[in-house]
Amino acid sequence: MQTPPTSPEYKVSSVEGLPFLQGGMKAICFLEHKENKFVNAKTMFSKSKDDVQKAIRYGIQQWLQGVPAPKRHHGWNQSQHGGAYTNCYVFKHVAKGVRFYGCLHHPVANGRALICCVIHYAIKREDEVDTYILDDINQFLAKDEFKAALEGFWNELQSKQGDVQ
């Protein structure tokens, strides 16, 4: 298991064109970190072919709109794996075996709101859950620096939304 570094070098950035659900209750972002090779989602998303990007963006849009589509995106509930991964999430392009893993976070300023931070890219063709990846994803939520980066991202999005209204 690769634990997140303790340095405050977490950077969170929006997915171009997809920061909010109408009403500003959900947001999607990528995590970046210079030193942690596990944090590869943004780089790999930008390097992905158009069809993969399109499929992942569509899954993200479905998540933002609250549309269930387990072939494109899903989380894990309390009844799965002893409830250990309820804050983990994945966006998928099943035909290509592409997975973008992340985590869910409720901002302190609005506990009803939800951020999905996409962290890790993997190729996976099996149906079985790779709990090693999910364990690594969970490690991020234990880090105050990571949560602070998410809170900063949320606050910035909220101030930008306020500027538009």
Of 21-35, 47-61, 63-77, 132-146, the one with minimum mean pLDDT is: 21-35
Residue whose structure tokens are 């171009």 = 16
Q: How many CA atoms lie within 13 A of 95 on its CB side?
A: 4
- Does residue 44 contact residue 32 with C-beta atoms inside 8 Å? no
101: number of CA atoms within 13 Å, CB side? Answer: 26
Q: State residue 115's pLDDT score.
A: 95
**What DSSP string runs through 61-123?**
HHHHHT--BTTTEEE--TTSGGGTTTTEEEEEEGGGTEEEEEEEE--TT-TT-EEEEEEEEEE
CA-based nearest residue to 148, from 2, 21, 7, 20? 7
**Mean per-residue pLDDT, 138-156:** 93
Assess whether pLDDT exceeds 70 at residue 1.
no
Quick: pLDDT tens for 52-86: 999 999 999 999 999 999 999 999 999 999 999 99
Residue 165: predicted pLDDT: 37
